[in-house]
Amino acid sequence: MVNILGANSVSGGYEIDNSLRFNDGDTASLNDTQSAGNRDTWTFSAWVKRGSLGTNQIIVISGTADTDYMSFSFVSNDKLNWHQYNGSGYDVNELTNAVYRDSSAWYHIVLRVNTADSTAGDRVIVYVNGVRQSVDSSTQFDQNEDTDFNNNNNTLDIGNDAQFNIGYNAFDGYMADINFIDGTAKAPTDFGETDDNGVWIPKEYEGNYGTNGFYLQFKETGTSANASGIGADTSGTGNHLGVTNLAATDVTTDTPTNNFCTLNPLGGINSSGKWTFSEGNTQIQQNNNNNWRATGSTMAVANGKWYWEIEFDAGTMSHIFVGVHDSDVSLEGTNRWVTGSTLFYNHEGGEIRQDGTNTTADYGVLTAGDILGVALNMDDKQISFYDNGNAIVSNFALSSSITGFAMPTFIAYSSNVVYKVNFGNPAFAISSGNADANGHGNFEYAPPSGYFALCSKNLGQFG
C-alpha cells in the first residue's frame, strides 16, 4: 500500500514527458508578440502543479501595458480569477468559488472564451479537471466584445506580469502540456478524459491551432525563441515563445503522468512558516535563526525501497536532521524528533537520533556542498545514508514507533542552511546523471540496487 498525500496524477495511454518549473523569485516567464487573430474566441489549456500558496500568481496574460490587458491567475485566497482591464475599469472580472490548495497535485485548467455566445455567463468558462467551475461574477463581457488576447502586437506572457506591472506575482510551480487555440472555443475533453477509475487524465489534442496558437511540450532546453528553445512550439504553427529567466534545469520530468514527490509547504503549519520554499518545493532555507523548524514531503510510503538526495549549501552546517517520520505524527512543537522518527543528525560527531535518543557511533560530519543520499527500505524497515556516494550508515533499523507510512522529513536549527532536495526532479545541475532501474529520476549518484525514485509510476509498481 502507498500513501500519496493529496496527489491525483495517474498514468494513462497518453504520456507527458516534461514540464517547466517556474520559481517566483526568478520572475520567470515565456512570452510572445501576437499577430492579429481572433480576439473573441480562443482557448488556453495547461496542467499546473502549484508551488507556493496564498499569493497572486499570473498563469497567462496578454495586452499592451498596465492599462490594457486580460489576465488569468491564482489570487491570494487560492481561487482562480480572470479579468480584463481597459484603463479605467474592468470589462470582466470573475472569481471561482472553489479554492486550489493542493501543492502535491496536478490540476488541468482550461480557460474557454467565446464572447459571441448569446448567454452572457457562457462567454468565459473555466474548467478544472474537466469540471466547469462555479463563479462569483461581478462583470461580464458584452456580446462580441474583443478581448486583449490575439490583438496585433500585444504581448502574451506565461508565468509573469513583468510586461504589465499590475502588481501580481510570478507563477510558482510547474506547468505542462500547454495548448493555446486561436479561433476556437474548445471543451476540456479535447485535452483530457476520465479513466476507468474516475480520474481526470491528459489526452493528446488533435485539432487546429489558428494564427497565434501554440503547443508547449518543453522538449528542448535552449533559451532562444526557436525550435531548440524551452518555449518551442511543437504544434507546427511555428509560434515559438521567448524565454525570460529560465534555464535548462527548469525543464523537469515531474509531470501529470509521472508525479514526483516534493517538499510540502503545508506540513507543519507553524514550523514551516520558518522556511523559505523555492524551486518548485525542491529547496528550503531556514529563515528564522535559533528556532526549530520541520517539514515533510508530499508522499509517504509503507512498502518498497526508495532513494533520494539532499545537497547542503550555505549557512551553518549544524543541527541538521534528515530522515523519515511517521506521517501520522505531528511536525508541530519543539520536539519533532522525539516520537515516530529516525533521523540523521549532523552535529558534533554525526549521530543517528532516533525517537529523541542519539547513538554513540561517529558517522562523520557533512560540509557545505556535500550530497547526502537516503535509501529507505520499508520492506525490511531499515534506512541507509550515503555521503557523496559513500555509505556511512547501512541498514539501520527504523524506529518501532513508525507504525504506518514513513514520510521523508527535514528538521533544522541552523543559521540559514539550504537543503536542495532531489527526489529525482532536481532544481540544480547534475554532473553525472543517474536514473533508477526503471529509468525514472535524475540523481548525482546511482541509487542502490533495487531502490527507486519517489514518483507515481514507481509507487504504482512497488508501493
Chain segment 177-230, per-residue pLDDT in tens? 999 999 999 999 999 999 999 999 999 999 999 999 999 999 999 999 999 999
Q: What is the pLDDT of residues 145-162, one digit of tens each?
A: 999 999 999 999 999 987
What pLDDT was estimated at residue 335?
Answer: 62
The three-state secondary structure class of 194 is: strand
Q: What is the pLDDT of residues 279-291, one digit of tens each?
A: 999 999 877 666 7
Handedness of CA 76, 82, 84, 89 (dihedral sign): negative
Q: Indicate if 269-462 has the same CATH topology as 17-252.
A: yes
The three-state secondary structure class of 25 is: helix
Contact between 404 and 303 under an 8 Å Cβ cutoff? The reply is no
> What's the average model confidence in pLDDT over 337-350?
76
pLDDT greater at residue 267 or residue 35? 35
The distance of Cα 312 from the centroid of its chain, to the nearest Å, equals 21
Q: What is the pLDDT of residues 398-420, one digit of tens each?
A: 999 899 899 999 988 766 788 99
Question: Which range has the top average pLDDT, 18-32, 76-90, 153-167, 280-294?
Answer: 18-32
Least confident of 25-29, 69-73, 354-358: 354-358
User: Angle 403-258-108 (CA atoms, 0-180°, nearest 5)?
Assistant: 110
Confidence of residue 2 (pLDDT cuts 50, 70, 90): very low
What pLDDT was estimated at residue 348?
Answer: 60
Least confident of 31-45, 314-328, 438-452: 314-328
Contact between 5 and 264 under an 8 Å Cβ cutoff? The reply is yes
**H/E element holding 269?**
helix 269-272
The three-state secondary structure class of 201 is: strand
Domain spans of the chain, in order of start: 17-252, 269-462
Distance in Å from the first CA to the final CA of the chain: 5
Pairing status of strand 90-96 against strand 135-139: antiparallel
**The CATH number fitting domain 17-252, selected from 3.40.50.740, 3.40.50.300, 3.40.50.150, 2.60.120.200:** 2.60.120.200
Domain 269-462: homologous superfamily in CATH? SPRY domain (2.60.120.920)
What pLDDT was estimated at residue 136?
Answer: 86
